[in-house]
Amino acid sequence: MTVSRRVFLGGACSITAHPLVTPMAFAATPGDHRLVVILLRGGLDGLDAVRPVGDRNLAALRAGGMTDLGFDLDGFYSVSAGLNALEPLWRTGELAFVHAVSTPYRDKRSHFDGQDILEAGSVGLDGTRDGWLNRMLQTMPNTYAEMAFAVGGDELKILSGQAPVMNWSPETDLSLTAQDRLLLGHVYKDDPEFHAAISEALDLVDGGMMDEGERSGRAHRERDLAVFTAAQLRGDTRIACFSVNGWDTHRNQRYSLNRSLRGFSDILTTLKAELGPIWSNTTVIGMTEFGRTAAMNGTAGTDHGTAGAMILAGGAVRGGRVYGNWPGLDEASLYDRRDLMPTEDVRAYAGSVIGDMYGITDTDIESVVFPGLVMDTRPRIVL
């Protein structure tokens, strides 16, 4: 935290007046591990993105509608060409995938309910009001306001709850003239809450990427999210989350999915570049509310399904492999004779990551963070 920037407003109000930013709070941190959760809203087509080319039924199910084929993973799986930019990460063991996983959500295949369950970390729509990342924070000692950061203008229920969480959208502009700043500082100087909030806001606007000349346009929104998130993770933030849309590929997914995957690859490579040495302590989880139908629909796309893929990246990840149990794509092996069968709970992998990174106990994971989850066969994902 850069105190010098924070006190630019001047006046009588000291930084320590705000209860959440007392220096005490920084005495202990959850180590150096960084966790980034990226919610892929809309339902990522795992069968196309992380393609089981070794499954003899794939070609018939997906005739003519898939994105171009990218690099080979392990002989059985290849990625979509949209992920080709990630090949160096795969080679260095900083990229992994999990296949045939899903949340416990079944059958109704609604985006809204599916996302609510993904973010609540619950078994069903059972009235859980807070998000699993927030509940994870609640189990950790010595948390502080900037430890967790909700990035972007989209609502992130996954981080809502009792534990304090910072929130900022890199799209927020606050162009104040020097005189505006001076006068606003005067108007806020005797009100610690307003003073702390505006100081923090100006810090975020001033910090790193947000120099006027460097502001990228709307087309680069996702890269902005990654750059901004990395800037926070270089500072006091340890846990960050944002969401990316564009996965609901009902039509012509050859083009739309390719675009979304390229955007996602860009996010990961940007995070790595911006994080520098911190990347080695970082785990990025990309997760979605459900996978898509095994077969193409009549409009060269896919409809809402059940199991799909999860993406893991970062220097902390035991990468270079595809985790999971492949159920097969013959009709009898499909869920409901239409979707990829879920063979594992996606929460078990997220649980494994947070257990290894932050020392969250299995008991806390099973009872607090992901109620109803049994961490019996716990895959070890983090180095």
Site for another protein in 158-217 (CB under 8 A): 160, 166-169, 172-174, 176-177, 179-180, 183-184, 186-194, 197-198, 200-201, 203-205
What are the beta bridge partners of residue 308?
101
What are the beta bridge partners of residue 286?
38, 311
User: What is the closest distance, in whole angstroms, from the C-beta atom of residue 376 to another protein in the complex?
Assistant: 27
For another protein, give the closer residue by CB, 19 or 23: 19
For another protein, give the closer residue by CB, 28 or 187: 187
Residue count, binding to another protein (CB under 8 A):
46
User: What is the closest distance, in whole angstroms, from the C-beta atom of residue 187 to another protein in the complex?
Assistant: 5
For another protein, give the closer residue by CB, 167 or 280: 167
Provide the Cα torsion 339, 344, 346, 349; round to 10°. -150
Q: Is 377 in the site for another protein (CB under 8 A)?
A: no
Q: Where are the beta strands (DSSP E) in 17-159?
A: 34-40, 50-51, 69-72, 78-80, 95-102, 148-151
Alpha-carbon span 316 to 36, nearest angstrom: 12
Site for another protein in 112-141 (CB under 8 A): 112, 125, 127, 129
- Tokens 């898939």 belong to 66
For another protein, give the closer residue by CB, 4 or 177: 177
DSSP secondary structure code for residue 366 in this structure: I
Site for another protein in 296-335 (CB under 8 A): 297-299, 301, 303
What are the beta bridge partners of residue 335?
339
Q: Crossing angle, helix 178-188 and helix 192-206, to 10 degrees?
A: 150
Strand order in the sheet with 69-72: 50-51, 78-80, 69-72
Site for another protein in 259-298 (CB under 8 A): 297-298
For another protein, give the closer residue by CB, 129 or 337: 129
For another protein, give the closer residue by CB, 185 or 342: 185
User: What is the closest distance, in whole angstroms, from the C-beta atom of residue 174 to another protein in the complex?
Assistant: 5
Q: Is 250 in the site for another protein (CB under 8 A)?
A: yes
For another protein, give the closer residue by CB, 277 or 298: 298
| DSSP per-residue string spanning 312-346 | EESTTB--SEEES-----SGGGSBTTTBPPP-EEH
Alpha-carbon span 47 to 334, nearest angstrom: 13
Please choose, from the candidates 40, 12, 7, 6, the residue with its C-alpha nearest in 3D space to the C-alpha of residue 236. Answer: 6
**How far, CA to CA in Å, does 64 sit from each of 81, 89, 286, 296?**
15, 29, 27, 9
Q: Candidates 33-41, 77-85, 155-163, 309-317 — which segment interacts with another protein by CB under 8 A? A: 155-163
Whether residue 73 contacts residue 79, with contact meaning beta carbons closer than 8 Å, is answered with yes
SS3 67: coil
Q: Candidates 71-79, 250-258, 271-279, 355-363 — which segment interacts with another protein by CB under 8 A? A: 250-258
User: What is the closest distance, in whole angstroms, from the C-beta atom of residue 18 to another protein in the complex?
Assistant: 10
For another protein, give the closer residue by CB, 179 or 377: 179
Among 155, 206, 211, 330, binds another protein (CB under 8 A): 155
For another protein, give the closer residue by CB, 144 or 349: 144
Q: Is 336 in the site for another protein (CB under 8 A)?
A: no
Contact set with another protein (CB under 8 A): 111-112, 125, 127, 129, 153, 155, 157, 160, 166-169, 172-174, 176-177, 179-180, 183-184, 186-194, 197-198, 200-201, 203-205, 250-252, 297-299, 301, 303
